[in-house]
Structure 1
Amino acid sequence: MSPTLDRLAAATDTFDPPLAALDLTTLRANAADLVRRADGTPVRIASKSVRCRAVLEIALGEGLTEANGFHGIMAYSLREAIWLVRSGARDVLMGYPTTDRAALAELAGDRSLRDRITLMIDSPTHLDVIRAAADAPGVRVCIDVDSSLRVGPIHIGVRRSPLRDPAEVAALAKKASAENFVVAGVMFYEAQIAGLPDTHRPVEWMKRASAKELSTRRGTVVNAVQEVVGELEIVNSGGTGSLEVSSADPTVTEVTAGSGLYTPTLFDRYRSFAPSPALFFALPAVRKPTPEIATLFGGGYIASGPVGKSRVPSPTWPRGLKVTRNEGAGEVQTPVTGRPAVDLAIGDRVWFRHAKAGELCERFNIVHLVDSDGTHSTVPTYRGEGLNFG
């Protein structure tokens, strides 16, 4: 067992699984590594990859402000952003557009919220939606720009913004400014660089080509927008897998990362950094249907994204276990096989890693935080605070 799992297992020995445990020593080291990789560019924390207010506070400093190279939060829901600001956050950038009319009206009615939250847009229709629900001058907006790589008719990357060319981004910025919105920034999320592991040479080639194309286009877009609205506060880019690439562009004022704090299995095959898992979960063995199989309680914590093996949680300890092909990780039971399964008795624990950062916190109300000396504390996840932002 690794030193991290040794600490987690010892500190949580008296608690009944299923449980989630986070090693603070590794978390702090991961946070420092994100800052190192950003090389002086402030790091905005993606809350969807954390989903635990206490962990956001550890990274950002008490009061959800900024500390040690981190600055601000990228939220995935406007209701979440409002809650975070009322919890002390001073700078929240929305990662996605919203059509939540009630939340927009709440934003419009509170000057503090309007000053601290920046909405994301990529269409004139978003302006109409915001204005209809939140008819107040000075609402801050950021424009999402398509950052995919296009090779002829081939689109490599995620489907986000319809805006790509400098002229069309500048046109939306001009319209927003004319309608009394504050155009605070632009965002470029290069998922095809940040979200793909370095599995083979074609991926490496694609990443280099994409980084080169985006660096040139990003500068042109920023210049075009600044010609119509003046200097931008925010030029956001990057993700855990692309911090070095994004921060190397002097146009970029901040990078975003979150998954690198927990380091789930989807980040195991990157060459730019060594993974250091910090967050694990444990399941109890509750059945022995055969001497070679142990059946665990729960475990069906499948990550979002394309269906496949990469989205399934991975048994980590005892080493050598694997989920069965016909059942996989199930909602209420997960059979495991492999040589160590023979020695598993009813009541024993199996430790797992999940595939995709903060999504694990949707399955647990609390996370056990374990420090370097083995001291333990328990904190609520978003779910544990009674909150579900989708």
Structure 2
Amino acid sequence: MAIDRDKLRDRLDRATAHLDPPYAVVDLTAFDANADALVQRAAGKPVRIASKSVRVRELLTRALARPGWRGVMAFTLPEALWLARSGVSDDVLVAYPTADRRALAELAADPALADAVTLMVDDAGQLDLVDQVCPPDRRPPLRVCLELDASWRPLGGRVHVGVRRSPVHSAGAAGSLAAAVAGRPGFRLVGLMSYEAQIAGLGDAPPGQAVLGTAIRVTQRGSYRELLARRAAAVAAVREHADLEFVNGGGTGSVAATSADPAVTEVTAGSGLYGPTLFDAYRAWRPTPAAFFACAVVRRPAPGLATVLGGGWIASGPAADSRLPRPWLPAGLKLLGAEGAGEVQTPLAGDVATALRIGDRVWFRHAKAGELCEHVNEVHLVDGDSVVATVPTYRGEGHAFL
């Protein structure tokens, strides 16, 4: 979607004129359009929302109320319990294994939660931990999902392409673990998940790096072909031991490709609702920017420079420029290489900086989606040129799950 950045800046400035920076906003028109576009890309398969990329209950609920969205992928078990208890969803898949004994005890003590929350496992030791917390004869059966490692290991495994997640890589390993789960009392195997980070989480058109972009696209095509065959074999191996309710895969960057895999029954997305800067490097689909944070100009140290208070909201991942927030409105501002985005002040350069006055707002986009919400207690929801609601983030509700 083409964006008139001058009009967007004017609209956001008018909507939030009564607020003092720093603060975060979500443009509901863009959020809803992104939600619908992700469903369209999923081609009829349900989209499970990744809560890690949203971290606002009101917006999780808003997305789930739209056709095509079903269930939540949480990032910790305490968060999953909270979301289930508060009525956000009765289908919450925990994306990562847990060693939280207190949360496991809560899950095992409540049959309603045990029906709503699914644990992620990739090692029999994780099952042992659950049994140590609460023996199988003293709890309802707990729902379990196996994670299949989706990384690509060409050249006989001498090369690893992707992230380091599950040790379960082959169909045989998936079948063996499924047999182990099925043979243990107190567990019910209901799902298989695989996250192809090297496809879903890696932009294939990095700005100004055409050669790298070509190499990424070639690698992604090879990885996708390999995963299609291996995931199908793994699903077949696991189904020999359990009737799976779902096979989950993908992320915002691979929704269309992952949904085309016949073995997959649902896809996951979350970042695409906000449209952070990392997704500017994708060719297939780029979400409309929907989430922003504003900082106030407090200094003008020299012509062509303006300094805002704060701004150093850095994203996780490798220490690189791609993890820095990007000054986006007004267009034409850039960070200084010697200072970057600072905790208490961020100087910005560009011809447009000369026209900025003390008290003017500079609008930034975060590099990653949900991490923006770790810096604010509330998010202002903008519709047109008005703030129509102010809702708490996880942090604003007193929760810091990681």
User: Is the shorter-chain TM-score for this pair beyond 0.5, marking a shared fold?
Assistant: yes
CA RMSD after TM alignment:
1.1
Name 2:184's counterpart in structure 1. 179
Q: Deviations over 1:82-125 (max 9, x none)?
A: 00001112000010000000000000000011000000000010
Give distance in 2, aligned partners of 1:4 and 1:252. 38
1:206 maps onto 2:206 in alignment: no
1:119 maps onto 2:119 in alignment: yes
The residue type paired with residue 146 of structure 1 is: D
- Gaps of at least 5 residues in structure 1 are 62-66
Between the two proteins, the alignment pairs up a number of residues equal to 384
Q: Secondary structure at the match of 1:149?
A: coil
More displaced, 301-310 or 365-374?
Answer: 365-374
Preserved CA contact (<8 Å) 2:274 2:287: no
Name 2:229's counterpart in structure 1. 216
Name 1:64's counterpart in structure 2. none
Give distance in 2, aligned partners of 1:134 and 1:341. 60
The residue type paired with residue 316 of structure 1 is: W
| Structure-2 change in CA distance of 1:3 and 1:45 (3 Å) | farther
Match of 1:236 among 248, 260, 264: 248
Aligned-residue offset at 1:375: 4.7
Aligned-residue offset at 1:133: 1.4
The residue type paired with residue 117 of structure 2 is: I
TM-score under structure 1 length normalisation? 0.96
Name 1:82's counterpart in structure 2. 81
More displaced, 220-229 or 128-137?
Answer: 128-137
Give distance in 1, aligned partners of 2:32 and 2:8. 13
Taking only the aligned residue pairs, the percentage that are identical comes to 55
The residue type paired with residue 57 of structure 1 is: T
More displaced, 217-226 or 375-384?
Answer: 375-384
Match of 1:195 among 201, 210, 233: 201
Aligned-residue offset at 1:274: 3.0
Name 2:26's counterpart in structure 1. 22
Q: Secondary structure at the match of 2:146?
A: strand
Preserved CA contact (<8 Å) 1:4 1:26: no
Q: Secondary structure at the match of 2:174?
A: helix
Give distance in 1, aligned partners of 2:354 and 2:7. 24
| Structure-2 change in CA distance of 1:373 and 1:8 (3 Å) | closer
Give distance in 2, aligned partners of 1:106 and 1:303. 32
Q: How does 1:222-261 map to 2 (within 5 A)?
A: 222-229=235-242, 231-261=243-273
The residue type paired with residue 322 of structure 2 is: S
Give distance in 1, aligned partners of 2:176 and 2:362. 55
Preserved CA contact (<8 Å) 2:12 2:385: no
Give distance in 1, aligned partners of 2:349 and 2:7. 25
Give distance in 2, aligned partners of 1:4 and 1:258. 23
Q: Deviations over 1:290-343 (max 9, x none)?
A: 233211111111000011010000011111111111111011111111111112
Name 1:285's counterpart in structure 2. 297
Name 2:208's counterpart in structure 1. none
Preserved CA contact (<8 Å) 1:11 1:376: no
Give distance in 1, aligned partners of 2:399 and 2:151. 33
Preserved CA contact (<8 Å) 1:7 1:370: no
1:146 maps onto 2:149 in alignment: yes
Q: Secondary structure at the match of 2:37?
A: helix
Preserved CA contact (<8 Å) 2:15 2:385: no
Q: Deviations over 1:178-237 (max 9, x none)?
A: 1121001110100000011112211111111111110111110010111122x2001000
